[in-house]
Structure 1
Amino acid sequence: MLDRAYTVLQAERGQLRGEGSRQIHSKLPAIKGKFKRIGRASLWQADLLVPVPVSDARLAERGFNQAERLADILSRHRRIPQLPLLVRTHHTGKQSFKSRAERLADMKHAFAANPDLAIRAEFVYWLESAGLQTQSQPLQIIIIDDIYTTGSTIRACAETIHELAGSLGCTAEIYSLTWARS
């Protein structure tokens, strides 16, 4: 289902650029941890997938991060690298039990750039090797999450990614794909 949503996003982005969706592009291997830039071919292609992080409490409760698993599948199928650029700064509790106003307030400062130096180094290395810091075109990033309710989680993640990209001398266009909408 997420792959079909990616195809729709790809077609929509191609139409906005005036490109035909029948055109074919080559997919270079891009596996988590082994970044290779997919050139801006005839069909729009995301550069990077970023899963929404879960809190330590939620991870302990579930035993896995569902957004990361969804991103893993899309990453393998579409050969788009994924990187956990974000961390959750605090546990926000289950959003489904909160009002829209509570959800929006809860997400303020709920995410930060991943402080893991290895992750940051991998991201910087990838940017440099792909020449993305000097390119005039923005980095195309898709945030992956399991469910979209108010959009507050996606907005908070996007703000943090924009700040991170800016601090590294590049710009980013942020998109999101979710498995479901509530």
Structure 2
Amino acid sequence: MSMLSQWLRKAELLLAPPLTRCLICGKNSKGSSPLPEVCSNCAVTIPWIQVPRCTTCGRHVGCPDCTRSNEPTPLICNRSAVAYNEVMRELIGQYKYRGNERYTLLLGLMLDRAYGLLKAEQERERQVQLKGQKRNTLFSYLGYKGEDTWRADLLVPVPVSGARLVERGFNQAERLGHVLSSCRGIPQLALLLRTHHTGKQSFKSRAERLSDMKHAFAIDPGMKDRFAGWLQTRLNPNAPLRIIIVDDIYTTGSTIRACAEPLQRLADECGVAVEIRSLTLARS
């Protein structure tokens, strides 16, 4: 090989995108998809939820849970990034149970996509409301159109029990929320704690989950002053406080609803109107 050929070969290697091992198929790839460390072939297998069929829980198929549940809840709605299929079960399992931190950014960016869809949905609803209202003549003259952008004020991760924290070494919801917080500039406060260990919910029936989750969460007393101090920094203190609860998987919604109740009480104690929604990585 000539010196010129050798130089061109070295230049080609330097300029070529580095190969990375795909987190889904395990093959070396050039990372040609928008998702970090996922090859283009595997990227198309991600079961994104583009338009939820159930507007309450965000499920992509018919939802008997929301139609048969008459329990009052402060939770407005849930939105999930993906359907919980075999691909996502493996990805979440690698991250949640095997502690593979390579998946943090990938799964966090999936959650960020769900936030983007929720934001767009809320802004569309706002525009529909404005069109249906008779606007004040003065406001119309001044060009007032109301709020045309929607943004959450605060992220609150679902807490894990002390036993789970020792077992896993981290709270997966808190880390996913950290990625979303970094992407969107929304603060995250770990306001909640678990009052008792509920065991693995994946092996329990819907009725058992609902029973287990009653009074399973409370406001962390050590966070109340911090929350009160944060409230003083809000740019628009007269607007409802928009809280998003963050978790990895939504199954029956019992965990999310149990988290929403103490958050509603905290807002009531502080004299603040609140809107509580949730974002989860996957919807089973």
- Letter paired with 1:156: A
Q: 2:164 aligns with which of 58, 61, 81?
A: 58
State how 1:1-182 maps to structure 2 within 5 Å.
Answer: 1-18=110-127, 42-116=148-222, 119-130=223-234, 135=238, 137-182=239-284
Distance 1:104 1:93 in 2: 13
Partner-residue secondary structure (3-state), 1:45? coil
- Letter paired with 1:142: I
Deviation at 1:128, TM superposition (A): 1.9
- Letter paired with 1:86: L
Distance 2:232 2:272 in 1: 11
Distance 2:202 2:215 in 1: 19
TM (normalized to structure 1)?
Answer: 0.83
- Letter paired with 1:159: E
Q: Which runs of 4+ in 1 moved over 3 A?
A: none
| Match in the other structure for 1:30 | none
Distance 2:156 2:234 in 1: 18
| Match in the other structure for 2:85 | none
Superimposed CA distance per residue, residues 104-135 of structure 1 (whole angstroms, 9 cap, x where no aligned partner): 0000000001111xx22221011123266x51
Distance 1:130 1:47 in 2: 8
What's the Cα RMSD here? 1.5
Name the % identity: 65
Is the 8 Å Cα contact of residues 127 and 148 (structure 2) preserved in structure 1? no
Distance 1:122 1:138 in 2: 19
Distance 2:208 2:277 in 1: 24
More displaced stretch, 122-131 vs 163-172: 122-131
Is the 8 Å Cα contact of residues 126 and 148 (structure 2) preserved in structure 1? no
- Letter paired with 1:73: V
- Letter paired with 2:206: R
Distance 2:122 2:216 in 1: 29
Is the 8 Å Cα contact of residues 213 and 258 (structure 2) preserved in structure 1? yes
Report the CA distance shift for 1:3/1:131 in structure 2 as closer, same or farther (over 3 A).
closer
- Letter paired with 2:195: T
Structure 2 unpaired stretches of 5+: 1-109, 129-145
